[in-house]
C-alpha cells in the first residue's frame, strides 16, 4: 500500500477495514462483475465498463450515503485497481469523454476477478 499515492492508499485502507460506504461500493461492484461474467456463454474475457456518474445514480438507494460522490466512486475504483495490481492496458484502461469525464474499462477474467476480490 505504501507505493500508492496517498488518496488511493487511504481509500484502500478504508476498504480493507470494511468501512462503509467504500467497502459496500466495492463489494457491490465485484458482485455485479461476477454476475456479468457468469452470464456469458463463453466466459473467456469481456470488458466491464464503469461510469462513476451512472453508478452513483444506480446505487443511491442501495447504498445511501452522502459520501458517495462521483469523485469518491472514481477513487474507490482506482484504489481497487491499484491495490489489485492490475496492469494498465492489459487488465484495464481508462477513457475520457469530451467533457473530461472518465470511464473505467476492466477486462474481466478469472485472474482479474480474483485480484479484485483480494481487496475485500
What predicted TM-score, i.e. pTM, was given to this entire model? 0.90
Instruction: Specify the CATH number for the domain of residue 38.
Output: 1.10.10
* Number of domain units in the chain: 1
Per-residue pLDDT of the chain (120 residues; tens, 9 = 90+): 457 888 899 999 999 999 999 999 999 999 999 998 888 776 677 899 999 999 999 999 899 999 999 999 999 999 999 999 999 999 999 999 888 899 999 999 999 999 999 988
In a domain, 1, yes or no: no
- The whole domain housing 31 covers 6-117
In a domain, 19, yes or no: yes
In a domain, 63, yes or no: yes
Query: What are the b/e assignments for 8-47, b being 16+ CB within 10 Å?
Result: bbebbebbbeeeebbbbbbbbbbeebeeebeeeeeeeeee
- Return the pLDDT at 78: 95
Rg (CA), the chain: 14
In a domain, 42, yes or no: yes
- Return the pLDDT at 25: 96
- Return the pLDDT at 74: 96
Amino acid at each position: 500500500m505504501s507505493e500508492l499515492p496517498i488518496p488511493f492508499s487511504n481509500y484502500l485502507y478504508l476498504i480493507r477495514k470494511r468501512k462503509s460506504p467504500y467497502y459496500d461500493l466495492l463489494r457491490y461492484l465485484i458482485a455485479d462483475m461476477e454476475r456479468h461474467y457468469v452470464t456469458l456463454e463463453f466466459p473467456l474475457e469481456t470488458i466491464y465498463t464503469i461510469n462513476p456518474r451512472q453508478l452513483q445514480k444506480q446505487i443511491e438507494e442501495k447504498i445511501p450515503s452522502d459520501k458517495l460522490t462521483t469523485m469518491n466512486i472514481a477513487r474507490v475504483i482506482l484504489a481497487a485497481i491499484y491495490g489489485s495490481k492490475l496492469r494498465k492496458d492489459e487488465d484495464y484502461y481508462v477513457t475520457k469523454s469530451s467533457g473530461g469525464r472518465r470511464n473505467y474499462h476492466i477486462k474481466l477474467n478469472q485472474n482479474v476477478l480474483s485480484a479484485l476480490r483480494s481487496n475485500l
